[in-house]
Amino acid sequence: MTEQTLRQWLLTDTPTSRRHAKLSALYQGWLSFSGNTMAMAGLWILLALLGIALFAPIIAPHDPFVQDLGNRLAPLGTPGHIFGTDSLGRDILSRLIYGSRITLYIVALVALIAPIVGLLVGTVSGYVGGWVDVVLMRITDIFLAFPRLVLALAFVAALGAGIENAVLAISLTAWPPYARIARAETLTIRSADYIAAIQLQGAGAMRIITRHIWPLCISSLIVRVTLDMAGIILAAAGLGFLGLGAQPPSPEWGAMISGGRRFILDHWWVATMPGLAIFTVSLAFNLLGDGLRDVLDPKGEK
C-alpha cells in the first residue's frame, strides 16, 4: 500500500471495520492536533524533557552531587559551567538535568493515582445516585473547599517529608475535579437507551461502569490531566521549596529555588535557572492540554 493509498484509506468516510474506524479516527485526530503549532511546541518540549531525563547520565556535564567550594556561585557562562554553580559549587545545569527525572516521576505517579480515584468516585456517585451520591459528593466538596497547596501541606505535615509522601499528598488533593467531571459525564450517560439495554441483559452496576461508562469519560479526563500537570508541578515545587518534598541533596527544582533565594540579588541565576525550568515545563503542559482539548472534547469550540 503506497503512502497516498494509505492516506486515502485512513481518511475515508466509510470505514470497513471497527479497526479501520479506530485507525481513521486516530489519524484524523493527529492531523487536527499537528495543525496546532503551539500544541506541537508543547509536545516537542515534553519529548525533549523525557529524552533529557532518560539520558541524564550521558548529557549532564558533571555529577550533580559533587561539591566544589572553591568554585561556588560561579556566574553564567563560566567555562565548564554554562548555567553557573550554586552555593556549594555544584553545577546548576547538571542538577537541572537530573531534576527533570524527579519532576517526571512526580507527574507520572500523580497522573496515575488522582484520575483513577476521581474516575471511580465520580462514576459510582453518578450511576448509583441516592445517598451514595450525596456522601461521595459532600466528601468531594470538603476537599475542594481547601486550596490545593494548603491541603497538601497538611497531608505532608502528617505523613512526613519525602518525595513519596509529597506525591501521595498531591494525589489526595488532585482527585476531586476528576470526580466532578466523571460524575457529570455519568449523569448524561446513565439514562441512555443503550445503558437500559445492557441492564436488561443482566449486566451488573460495576460492569456497566467499567466497560461502558469509563471509556466515554476518558477523553475529558485526559484533557483535564494534561491541563492540571502545570499545577501539579507547581505544587511539588512548592513543597520542595518549603523542605517538605524531595530532601537534600536531591536536585529537585523547588528545593534548588529555595537554596538560591538567599543569593537572589547578587547571584540571581542560582534561583532563576530552576524557576525557568519549571516555567517552561508548565507552559508545555498547558499548550499540550489546549491542543488535546481541541481534538478530544467534542463539546469544545474548534
pLDDT in tens, 154-194: 888 888 888 888 888 899 889 999 999 999 989 888 888 88
The pTM for the full model equals: 0.86
Q: Percentage of residues in the chain with pLDDT exceeding 90?
A: 35
- Largest Cα–Cα separation, the chain: 77
pLDDT tens-digit map of 192-212: 888 888 888 887 888 888 888
pLDDT at 145 over 80: yes
Residue linked to cell 461502569 = 209
**Model confidence at 3, in pLDDT bands (50, 70, 90)?**
low
CA–CA separation, 129 and 205 (whole Å) = 12
Among 99, 127, 37, 76, which Cα is nearest to 268's? 76
pLDDT tens-digit map of 219-256: 888 888 888 888 889 888 888 888 888 888 889 999 99
Cell numbers given for 203? 449486566
Residue 36 CA: distances (Å) to CA of 81, 219, 279, 290 = 36, 18, 21, 9
Q: Percentage of residues in the chain with pLDDT exceeding 70?
A: 97
pLDDT tens-digit map of 102-111: 989 988 999 8
Q: Which fold has domain 35-58+79-296?
A: MetI-like fold (1.10.3720)
Cell numbers given for 228? 492540571
CA–CA separation, 83 and 91 (whole Å) = 7
Q: What pLDDT was estimated at residue 117?
A: 92
Residue 296 CA: distances (Å) to CA of 116, 181, 223, 291, 302 = 19, 14, 7, 9, 10
Partners of residue 81 on adjacent β-strands: 78
Residue 127 near residue 186 (C-beta atoms within 8 A):
yes
Partners of residue 78 on adjacent β-strands: 81
Q: What pLDDT was estimated at residue 150?
A: 85
Residue 46 near residue 284 (C-beta atoms within 8 A):
yes
